[in-house]
């Protein structure tokens, strides 16, 4: 019944190729961005903004990067935490060592260095696939862990091993309140999401998906496997690196290498799988799910426990969280391996046909 | 071994405008009006031998393919026909022999180089990109010609957008030609087998090849689908002047649409010539042709 | 020279322990094509079970004999691992039969998180001891060859012996028993094995049980050496490059890979470490596996992967 495309005919290929060909979708997304930019800062309280929305935005950006590599190009990567770390520490060094360095340039330079590291550790993808590649990317993760822990130049010779940034500003406006932090991250996310969407619907996106689906046939068509795989690593690491910079600068303020450990890599991979591989929207869904889940569990588990007369300690809650998390992952993979994005499009499909079942 | 009279006649006529060859008017496919000009040798396979470990897939195979002709490769199962195409295409590297294409000789072909020089192919097992739509699958065939770099594509302004639209127009022409307009946005994995084969063909056509290698294009099709596919092959050959090398099991199709035939058996060549000559060759008959169509 | 040999021997011993964990990975992968990321969590779970039951049994039954308590604890822990294996097959594997590798990998990752949380909820999250009577004192050997002799940790020696025993009995199991034959058949070709009547589901339960038992032995030895605590799960992450180095489908590869990595880690830490700031153990194994992969993508003993179009 809700057949949104009704009456909308395209008269040019250009119109047919746009990101949101259906008018309602276009309006809906513009309204959403407008609400996010104007409504949310007015309506949300500081806790919501700084503890939930800011991490959600930054992790969505990181999940976007990981999705490009894992979802669109089919290269399993367990090293995303390491790339975030490279982004954060490179941005830190440019920011701190060069006087008068604008914040945006520092963050982008973090992405740039992450790209270099990503390309280097992406070279194994030309030789191995699947599980072997996953292990190769873990090498990147652990190497980065060690480098930022032991090589003191990276931490500006900090004695405690952790680094901190302050006095962030963008074009004169300070990035120090929850609202300003939120808007800053939102801006990055919108710009990068748009560029990512353009990439995946263009020629390079098709090359990535061809490599994912059948890389032997891809070479026969004239696609260069090396170029496709390395660009996937490069673009993905750039986005993940910038996200890492944002995570350290805007969300944490001060951090240690442990903030970007292998657990972070697993977390990003879970986001992408639960959200939907090969889907820009899926990255947002996955990030939202993973960010919100611990908070929901934290709120409701003690209450649930007291209902059955079980007193759950804080340690108990965190163990229960881990258990529920693991069980949910397995459940998701069994029920809908293509993630929330697939459930979303199935839902829209059903809305088209409603009230008919099929 | 056979066909020497026809070939010498062709060679004698090469100095002039090239001989005319007409198609036998039998079988379910209607003959094309007039004749067609078959040109010089465009692809020359010389003494190719290929083995996998101890298994000899191809032994000393030599044949040539002339421009604008339709050359069929036939033979019983396991004769090495797909391996031969894979050698031409660069997927396998033969241990011995050389392949000449457009005057240049190679001892082994590099897939991507071959693709850029103008050879495209379809696959026996389709090898389509199951996750993408029909349009996107055929668009991948245009990737070689897309010039915008990564940055322009990310911004998708001006030249990048125009290039994408221009390629989309070309792909739509192919979709019209193959009559699959209704399915252009469907994911290929959901299409029935016959339509998937058309998408495979479309993807090869998108590369604007001079030589088209078709690996069993009619496999698994019923009579109507075979007629459609035969019509497409003939139209491609006629309208675009594409040279076609096809592997096919259906003798009716082979006899009707091909200009010359190569017969393989157990990796060796046992026949080479026009369909009529091959049909009457006793070696071929004993190896392969049981019932006629 | 003496110091070098000592480090070498220490590395071999440590490597043996890696091999134990890697063995579990290879077993499951060989028989079902599933890469079990949860192996480390299984090691921890089994070790926790054994440690706690060894504590609880004397309290419950009042037996004072440590050997009997340990034996009972071992048996109970083994039974628990059997239940875990059965549950994993029933609840997870059965539903994911035809999915691609990445999905299965993620599923085992989910299982590992679940086992982590469950183990610590049920058995507690403090650090526990496993005391199976391993001698903790070192011994000096070859005192006449090298001045001062070589220091060998007796505990490591016993651990290596136990590991060798385990590998030998597993080999016997695979080669000589009919179940072992069935397992090898399943590893070779699922469909063919089914067509001659081998029950696939039961085979998988058996495989996971054997892997669970391997995890228990590994957990017992590691726990006795290091104490049973959460950091044991990182052992699994250390065993991954061992599996990759040796080749995913090769049992001798797992053993050899473990020894190579063990030796490599120790030697590089002692001789290379001081120049680069130390602590290179966390990435040495991985980078070594990476380099080997570039040269030989299937690992040292693995089967070559051929792509057909």
**Over the stretch A23-75, which tens digit does the pLDDT of each residue have?**
888 888 888 888 888 888 888 888 888 889 999 999 999 999 999 999 999 88
> Do B219 and B96 belong together in one domain?
yes
Name the residue among A203, A212, A219 with its Cβ closest to that of B153: A203
Name the residue among A142, A316, A323 with its Cβ closest to that of C114: A323
How far is Cα C139 from Cα C153, in angstroms, rounded to an integer? 6
Specify whether the CB–CB gap between C65 and C249 falls below 8 A: no
Q: Which of B153, B180, B204 is the last residue of a domain?
A: B204
pLDDT average, residue stretch C90-114: 80
ipTM passes above 0.90: no
Name the residue among C92, C283, C294 with its Cβ closest to that of A124: C294
Inter-chain residue contact B153 with A199, CB threshold 8 Å: yes
Q: Is residue B280 part of a domain?
A: yes
Total tally of structural domains belonging to chain A = 1
Q: Is residue B226 part of a domain?
A: yes
Structure tokens at B200: 């495979």
* Per-residue pLDDT at B17 exceeds 60: no
Inter-chain residue contact A207 with B153, CB threshold 8 Å: no
**Which pLDDT belongs to residue A193?**
94
Total tally of structural domains belonging to chain B = 2
> Do B276 and B224 belong together in one domain?
yes
Q: Is residue A37 part of a domain?
A: no
Domain range for B259 is 35-118+209-293
> Residues A191-219: pLDDT tens digits?
999 999 999 988 899 999 998 888 777 88
- In this predicted model, which residue has the larger pLDDT, A334 or C134? A334
> Do B82 and B148 belong together in one domain?
no
> Do B109 and B249 belong together in one domain?
yes
Inter-chain residue contact C107 with A330, CB threshold 8 Å: yes
> Hey, is the C-beta of C307 within 8 angstroms of any chain A C-beta?
yes
* Per-residue pLDDT at B288 exceeds 70: no
> C304: which chain B residues are within 8 Å (Cβ-Cβ)?
none
Interface test with C, best of A70, A128, A149 (most C CBs within 10 A): A128
> Residues A96-150: pLDDT tens digits?
888 888 889 999 999 999 999 999 999 988 888 877 888 889 889 999 988 888 8
Inter-chain residue contact B140 with A207, CB threshold 8 Å: yes
Inter-chain residue contact B112 with A222, CB threshold 8 Å: yes
Does pTM surpass 0.95?
no
Query: Shortest Cα distance from A234 to chain B (angstroms)?
Result: 11
Q: Which of B204, B234, B254 is the last residue of a domain?
A: B204
Give the domain ranges of chain C.
2-232
Q: Is residue B12 part of a domain?
A: no
- Would you place residue B258 in the very low, low, confident or very high pLDDT band (cuts 50, 70, 90)? very high
Nearest chain C residue to A126, by CA: C294
Query: Shortest Cα distance from B214 to chain C (angstroms)?
Result: 14
> B121: which chain A residues are within 8 Å (Cβ-Cβ)?
220
Tell me, what CATH number does A145's domain have? 1.10.3470
> Do B213 and B288 belong together in one domain?
yes
Query: Shortest Cα distance from B277 to chain A (angstroms)?
Result: 34
- CA A265 to each of CA A145, A166, A240, B75: distance values in angstroms, whole numbers, following the listed order: 12, 26, 11, 53
How far is Cα B114 from Cα B110, in angstroms, rounded to an integer? 6
User: Chains touching chain A at 3 or more Cβ pairs under 8 angstroms?
Assistant: B, C
> Hey, is the C-beta of C162 within 8 angstroms of any chain A C-beta?
no
> Do B213 and B242 belong together in one domain?
yes
> Do B220 and B278 belong together in one domain?
yes
> Do B214 and B293 belong together in one domain?
yes
CA dihedral A35, A40, A43, A47 (to 10 degrees): 160
Q: Smallest Cα–Cα separation from A89: which of A213, A262, A260?
A: A260
**Which pLDDT belongs to residue C19?**
84
Q: Is residue A23 part of a domain?
A: no
Radius of gyration (C-alpha) of chain C in whole angstroms: 20
- CA A6 to each of CA A20, A23, A33: distance values in angstroms, whole numbers, following the listed order: 15, 10, 25
> Hey, is the C-beta of B130 within 8 angstroms of any chain A C-beta?
yes
Q: For chains A and B, what is the number of CB pairs under 8 angstroms?
A: 99
Structure tokens at C200: 């696939």
Inter-chain residue contact A13 with B172, CB threshold 8 Å: yes
> Do B193 and B237 belong together in one domain?
no
> Hey, is the C-beta of B157 within 8 angstroms of any chain A C-beta?
no
Domain range for A119 is 42-353
Over chain C, what HEC string results? CHHHHHHHHHHHHHHHHHHHHHHHHHHHHHHHCCCCCCHHHHHHHHHHHHHHHHHHHHHHHCCCCHHHHHHHHHHHHHHHHHHHHHHHHHHHHHHHCCCCHHHHHHHHHHHHHHHHHHHHHHHCCCCECCCCCCCCCEEEECCCCCCCCEEEEHHHHHHHHHHHHHHHHHHHHHHHCHHHHHHHHHHHCHHHHHHCCCCHHHHHHHHHHHHHHHHHHHHHHHHHHHCECHHHHHHHHHHHHHHHHHCCCCHHHHHHHHHHHHHHHHHHHHHHHHHHCCCCHHHHHHHHHHHHHHHCCCCCCCCCCCCCC
Q: Smallest Cα–Cα separation from C23: which of C298, C206, C228, C236?
A: C236
Query: How high does pLDDT run on average in chain A?
Result: 87
**Is residue B204 helix, strand or coil?**
helix
> B78: alpha, beta or left, given left = phi > 0 and alpha = psi -120 to 50?
left
Inter-chain residue contact A17 with B169, CB threshold 8 Å: no
Specify whether the CB–CB gap between C20 and C170 falls below 8 A: no
Q: Which of B163, B189, B204 is the last residue of a domain?
A: B204
């Amino acid at each position: 019944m809700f057949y949104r495309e009704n009456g909308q005919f395209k008269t040019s290929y250009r119109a047919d190729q746009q990101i949101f060909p259906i008018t309602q979708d276009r309006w809906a997304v513009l309204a959403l961005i407008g609400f996010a930019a104007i409504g949310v800062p007015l309506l949300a309280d500081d806790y919501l903004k700084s503890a939930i929305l800011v991490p959600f935005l930054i992790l969505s950006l990181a999940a976007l990067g990981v999705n490009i590599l894992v979802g669109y190009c089919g290269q399993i990567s367990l090293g995303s935490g390491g790339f975030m770390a490279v982004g954060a520490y490179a941005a830190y060094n440019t920011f701190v060592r060069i006087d008068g360095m604008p914040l945006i340039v520092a963050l982008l330079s973090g992405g740039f260095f992450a790209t270099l590291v990503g390309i280097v550790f992406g070279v194994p993808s030309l030789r191995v696939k699947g599980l072997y590649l996953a292990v190769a990317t873990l090498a990147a993760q652990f190497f980065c862990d060690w480098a930022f822990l032991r090589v003191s130049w990276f931490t500006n010779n900090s004695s405690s091993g952790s680094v901190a940034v302050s006095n962030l500003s963008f074009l004169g406006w300070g990035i120090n309140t929850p609202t300003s932090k939120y808007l800053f991250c939102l801006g990055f996310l919108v710009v990068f999401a748009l560029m990512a969407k353009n990439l995946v619907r263009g020629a390079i996106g098709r090359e990535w998906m061809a490599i994912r689906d059948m890389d032997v046939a891809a070479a026969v068509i004239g696609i260069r496997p090396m170029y496709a795989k390395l660009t996937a690593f490069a673009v993905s690491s750039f986005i993940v690196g910038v996200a890492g910079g944002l995570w350290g600068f805007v969300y944490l303020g001060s951090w240690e290498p442990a903030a970007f450990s292998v657990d972070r890599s697993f977390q990003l991979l879970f986001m992408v799988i639960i959200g939907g591989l090969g889907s820009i929207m899926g990255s947002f869904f996955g990030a939202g799910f993973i960010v919100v889940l611990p908070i929901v569990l934290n709120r409701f588990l003690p209450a649930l426990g007291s209902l059955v007369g079980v007193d759950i300690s804080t340690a108990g809650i965190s163990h229960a969280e881990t258990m529920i998390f693991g069980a949910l992952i397995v459940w998701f993979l069994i029920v809908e391996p293509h993630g929330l994005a697939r459930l979303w499009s199935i839902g829209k499909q059903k809305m088209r046909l409603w009230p008919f079942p099929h | 071994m056979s066909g020497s009279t026809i070939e010498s006649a062709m060679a004698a006529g090469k100095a002039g405008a090239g001989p005319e060859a007409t198609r036998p008017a039998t079988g379910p496919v209607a003959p094309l009006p007039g004749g067609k000009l078959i040109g010089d040798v465009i692809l020359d396979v010389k003494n190719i031998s290929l083995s996998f470990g101890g298994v000899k897939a191809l032994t000393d195979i030599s044949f040539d393919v002339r421009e604008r002709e339709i050359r069929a490769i036939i033979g019983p199962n396991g004769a090495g026909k797909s391996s031969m195409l894979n050698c031409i295409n660069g997927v396998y590297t033969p241990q011995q022999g050389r392949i000449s294409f457009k005057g240049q000789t190679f001892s082994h072909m590099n897939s991507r180089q071959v693709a850029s020089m103008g050879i495209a192919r379809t696959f026996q097992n389709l090898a389509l990109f199951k996750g993408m739509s029909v349009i996107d699958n055929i668009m991948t065939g245009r990737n070689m010609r897309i010039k915008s770099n990564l940055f322009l594509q990310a911004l998708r302004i001006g030249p990048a957008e125009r290039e994408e639209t221009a390629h989309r127009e070309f792909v739509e022409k192919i979709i019209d030609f193959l009559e699959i307009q209704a399915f252009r946005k469907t994911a290929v994995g959901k299409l029935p087998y016959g339509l998937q084969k058309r998408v495979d063909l479309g993807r090869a056509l998108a590369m604007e090849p001079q030589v088209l290698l078709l690996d069993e294009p009619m496999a698994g099709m019923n009579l109507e689908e075979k007629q459609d596919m035969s019509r497409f092959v003939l139209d491609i050959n006629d309208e675009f002047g594409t040279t076609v090398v096809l592997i096919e099991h259906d003798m009716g199709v082979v006899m009707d649409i091909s200009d010359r035939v190569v017969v393989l058996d157990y990796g060796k060549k046992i026949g080479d010539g026009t369909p009529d000559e091959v049909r009457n060759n006793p070696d071929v008959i004993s190896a392969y042709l049981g019932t006629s169509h | 020279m003496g110091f070098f040999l000592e480090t070498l021997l220490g590395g071999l011993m440590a490597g043996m322990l890696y091999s134990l964990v890697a063995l579990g990975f290879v077993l499951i992968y060989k028989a079902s094509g599933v890469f079990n990321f949860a192996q480390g969590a299984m090691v921890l779970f089994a070790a926790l079970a054994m440690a706690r039951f060894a504590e609880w049994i004397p309290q419950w039954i009042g037996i004072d004999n440590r050997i009997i308590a340990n034996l009972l604890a071992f048996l109970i822990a083994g039974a628990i691992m059997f239940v875990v294996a059965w549950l994993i097959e029933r609840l997870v594997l059965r539903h994911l039969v035809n999915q691609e590798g990445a999905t299965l990998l993620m599923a085992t990752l989910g299982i590992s998180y679940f086992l982590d949380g469950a183990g610590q909820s049920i058995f507690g999250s403090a650090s526990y001891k496993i005391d199976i009577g391993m001698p903790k004192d070192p011994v000096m050997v070859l005192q006449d060859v090298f001045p001062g002799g070589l220091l060998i940790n007796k505990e490591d020696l016993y651990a290596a012996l136990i590991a060798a025993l385990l590998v030998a009995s597993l080999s016997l199991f695979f080669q000589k028993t009919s179940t072992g034959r069935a397992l090898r058949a399943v590893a070779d070709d699922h469909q063919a094995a089914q067509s001659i009547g081998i029950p696939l589901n039961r085979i998988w339960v058996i495989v996971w049980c054997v892997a669970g038992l391997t995890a228990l032995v590994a957990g017992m030895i590691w726990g006795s050496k290091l104490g049973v605590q959460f950091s044991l799960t990182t052992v699994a992450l250390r065993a991954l490059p061992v599996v990759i180095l040796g080749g995913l489908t090769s049992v001798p590869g797992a053993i050899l890979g473990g020894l190579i990595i063990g030796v490599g880690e120790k030697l590089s830490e002692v001789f290379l470490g001081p120049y680069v700031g130390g602590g290179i153990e966390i990435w040495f194994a991985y980078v070594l596996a990476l380099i080997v992969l570039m040269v030989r993508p299937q690992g040292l003993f693995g089967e070559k992967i051929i792509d057909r179009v």
